[in-house]
Amino acid sequence: MTTAPVGKYMTAKEVEACCKEPDDACKKFVNQQTMIRIKDPKKSLDFYTRVLGMRLIQTFDQPAAQRTLFFLGFCNADEIPKDKEERIKWLFLKPGCMELWYDYDAHKRDKPMHNGNCEPLGYGHIGLAVPHVKDACKRFDDLGVEFEMKVDTGFVKDTAFIRDPDGYWIELFNGATLIKA
């Protein structure tokens, strides 16, 4: 590891000192899902399935709590178990899923969803690895997707940011070329 400064706050050595070897009890933990709140399920489901290419895996309608949860992921249709119990078990073992949380009264709120990229700062973005960033951007542009930052206009080359219907940012990158940026 390097000891070069990491921004104004910490050196790389200080960063390394903060990071500990994972405890054996955590070795099988997996980042299974990211949850975001949505205002309009029709717009969000269309975006995440048709535009991004995810599949709806399972829906949990919870009328007593006045909400519906939609779980999506990147997979082939034939991978998803047909049996509901098996599908739910499979879902919650699958890494990298999205949970779209819809409160029944969300559409009535005057304010947009807070995406974390304006004050107060917080949540930042979803990262989506794609084979070719420029090709993905052309497709998204053709589909009328809103861009936060077009490819090669930011400080990191061969990356771009699009917005989902609620304004959440989605970073597009190719891991093989990102290292060269």
Tens-place pLDDT, residues 79-128? 999 999 999 999 999 999 999 999 998 878 777 777 777 787 778 899 99
Token pair in block for residue 179? 């290292």
Mean pLDDT of 39-57: 97
pLDDT at 134 over 70: yes
Average confidence score pLDDT of the chain? 89
57-90 per-position pLDDT tens digit: 999 999 999 999 999 999 999 999 999 999 999 9
Q: Is 71 exposed, middle or buried (0-12, 13-18, 19+ CB in 10 A)?
A: buried
Active site residues: 171
Greater pLDDT, 56 or 21? 56
Residue 144 has pLDDT above 80, yes or no: yes
Check if the beta carbon of residue 161 is closer than 8 Å to that of residue 169. Answer: yes
**Closest alpha carbon to 106 in 33, 43, 34:** 43
In what helix (H) or strand (E) does residue 36 lie, and over which residues does it extend?
Answer: strand 33-38
pLDDT at 7: 64
Confidence of residue 180 (pLDDT cuts 50, 70, 90): low
Counts of helices then strands in the chain (DSSP H, E): 5, 10
This prediction's pTM: 0.84
Strands 33-38 and 97-103: parallel
